[in-house]
Amino acid sequence: MNVKLHLTPTSFKRSDLADNVAVVIDVLRCTTSICAALSAGARGVIPTIGPGEAVDMWTKLGSNLAILAGEREGVRIENFQLGNSPLEFTAESVGGKLVVMTTTNGTRAFVESSQAALVLSAALVNIGLIADRIVAEGRDVAIVCAGREGGFSIEDTLCGGMLIDLIAAEQRGELDLNDAGSLALLLYRSNKTAIKQSIAQGEHGRYLTRIGFADDIENAAAVDSIPVLPVLQDGRLVLEQ
Amino acid sequence: MNVKLHLTPTSFKRSDLADNVAVVIDVLRCTTSICAALSAGARGVIPTIGPGEAVDMWTKLGSNLAILAGEREGVRIENFQLGNSPLEFTAESVGGKLVVMTTTNGTRAFVESSQAALVLSAALVNIGLIADRIVAEGRDVAIVCAGREGGFSIEDTLCGGMLIDLIAAEQRGELDLNDAGSLALLLYRSNKTAIKQSIAQGEHGRYLTRIGFADDIENAAAVDSIPVLPVLQDGRLVLEQ
């Protein structure tokens, strides 16, 4: 099985992903929040790139059906109902609703990956189910790390490395990895006993702690704590039936 | 000392590098070839982004003074006198001349780094001198990996990690690393006894072997084999006096 990891969503062409399973990872915090939202009973999450596009979509859907969520520089966008903390996505806030979401890095990664045959939303909180689904699908895999402001992100790369480790264990046969995939695997295996600390000590982790979101790191680092399988269907992330 | 490593030249703003020492790394093969050219007696190397710009510059300088070198997809550009193999830069081919050079990734990294207080050209072949120079300078450091086609490159990251390891040993005080710097250091320390093999087995290494440049890898992996110190002055790389 061919597994390519991309440290950022800008290091591949969209057409490269045709016939692949694309796995989007934004541990802090987009894909963690997507798991939280769907697990809390949201009908779907619609990733959009810009706040303007998000507001247009939300207006079109109507406030009975939809709710606006998003951040810039980690903080809730003004006039949006929700920010990007997984703890905000509860049955009360999102149950039965469509969440229109825009985040700095994560939602763009979904748009860049949308030409893949199957698009999954992965985080540490649902990594085990993601690995199972990939092995069941049997296609080549593109792991798309959302990264941070155009650069690489240690938590997404670590999560991608863990996914490769799990696939390798389930798959048995040799995996054909690209250089970034080998690097991610090395990063994971060097930090597997200290995942939470590695994330907390990273640039983004320290930033989130500074602006008051230390709990989100704890939450995002809890491996397999929200076992759901979000797939992209017609532009929205829903639980796979 | 603050040391930031950038996996690609697109993950920072040019103005971020003011007051820094910028260290450009493109092991396969631009910065290795720059060392080879200057060591062979070239008067300077002028990095340019595109072949058109290179030809214009060469025409302006005249063929008595200047020579055109460059590659696309690893192969010498048509009508250019030299490609990008370090073995081509000999006293016969470049002695006394200005080399106008354009490569896919490396020369762009110099342009992106040009606003730094001091710009050095580093490869494995001159890594020891580079570390000494950085420690002597005492400024914050930006290590700019050229990468490959917009993505990360294992050989540049490994070389950046080795540079950090050397600076840490010389500097004694704590280094303040960004996440990519920590990752590069991990990559180097995990592969320090097998540098040549790591490069040869990487994507770019395998590609170069396939198109007939296996000797270049051997050459580029020879640590401290070309101990010269190329610095950028007025748009050209010259040996520091």
| Res. B127: pLDDT tops 80 | yes
Residue of B nearest to A198 (CA): B179
Q: Say if CB B73 and CB B88 are below 8 A apart.
A: no
Written out in words, the top-level CATH class of the domain with range B2-233 is alpha beta
CB contact under 8 A, A7 and B157: no
Among A176, A190, A216, residue whose Cα is nearest residue A88 = A216
**Residue B168 has which token pair?**
């840490």
Which chain A residues have any C-beta within 8 angstroms of a chain B C-beta?
6-8, 10-12, 149-154, 157, 178-180, 182-183, 186-187, 190, 202-203
CB contact under 8 A, B7 and A202: no
What are the domain boundaries of chain A?
A: 2-232
Q: Give Cα separations from B62 to A49, A151, B99 (angstroms).
A: 50, 40, 11
Q: Give CA–CA dist A182/B54, Å, rounded.
A: 36
- Condensed to tens digits (0 to 9), the pLDDT of residues A89-121 reads 999 999 999 999 999 999 999 999 999 999 999
CB contact under 8 A, B154 and A182: yes
- Condensed to tens digits (0 to 9), the pLDDT of residues B144-164 reads 999 988 789 999 999 999 999
Reported confidence tier of residue B10, pLDDT bands at 50, 70, 90: confident
Q: Half-sphere exposure of B56 toward its Cβ, with a 13 Å CA cutoff?
A: 7
| Per-residue pLDDT, B241 | 80
- Condensed to tens digits (0 to 9), the pLDDT of residues A131-169 reads 999 999 999 999 999 998 878 999 999 999 999 999 999
Reported confidence tier of residue A221, pLDDT bands at 50, 70, 90: very high
Residue from the list B7, B149, B150 with its beta carbon closest to the beta carbon of A152: B7
A211 Cβ partners below 8 Å, 6+ apart?
A: A74, A75
**Residue A110 has which token pair?**
């979904």
Rounded mean pLDDT of B207-228?
97
Residue from the list A10, A151, A186 with its beta carbon closest to the beta carbon of B186: A186
Pick the CATH number of A2-232 from 3.90.1560.10, 3.50.30.10, 3.40.190.10, 3.40.50.10330: 3.90.1560.10
Residue from the list B152, B154, B179 with its beta carbon closest to the beta carbon of A154: B179
| Res. A70: pLDDT tops 80 | yes
Complex-level ipTM: 0.91
